[in-house]
Amino acid sequence: DQQVKQNSPSLSVQEGRISILNCDYTNSMFDYFLWYKKYPAEGPTFLISISSIKDKNEDGRFTVFLNKSAKHLSLHIVPSQPGDSAVYFCAARWPNFGNEKLTFGTGTRLTIIP
């Protein structure tokens, strides 16, 4: 069973507008959530994260929102730029001290239209 879900395989957004990527999870034990960005032929790179005790974390153009009651998180990118075109993965951490693992979603391909 897929514990972390990204239901939109792809998303197209006009340059300068807001991009909103969504992620749902099923396990309430996850204690940390991360977003990764991946360009073709490269490894994923860390973008932003949020602890389960917070509901918002902001870093420049990127903001992650967490709604624990709905088991939902979203990544907002404002304003969107052509370099943001990539595949975005959300990931959730299982809190096993010293043995933490991440469970990844299936990814959303974001295309920014100039």
φ/ψ of 93, rounded to 5, equals: -100, 135
DSSP conformational letter for 78: S
Give me the residues paired with residue 12 across strands.
Answer: 111
Out of 20, 32, 61, 72, the residue judged to bind another protein by CB under 8 A: 32
Q: Are 9 and 109 in contact (CB under 8 A)?
A: yes
Site for another protein contains 41 (CB under 8 A): yes
99 counts as binding another protein under rule CB under 8 A:
yes
101 binds another protein (CB under 8 A): yes
Contacting positions for another protein (CB under 8 A): 4, 6, 9, 32, 34, 36, 41-46, 49, 89, 91, 93, 97-107
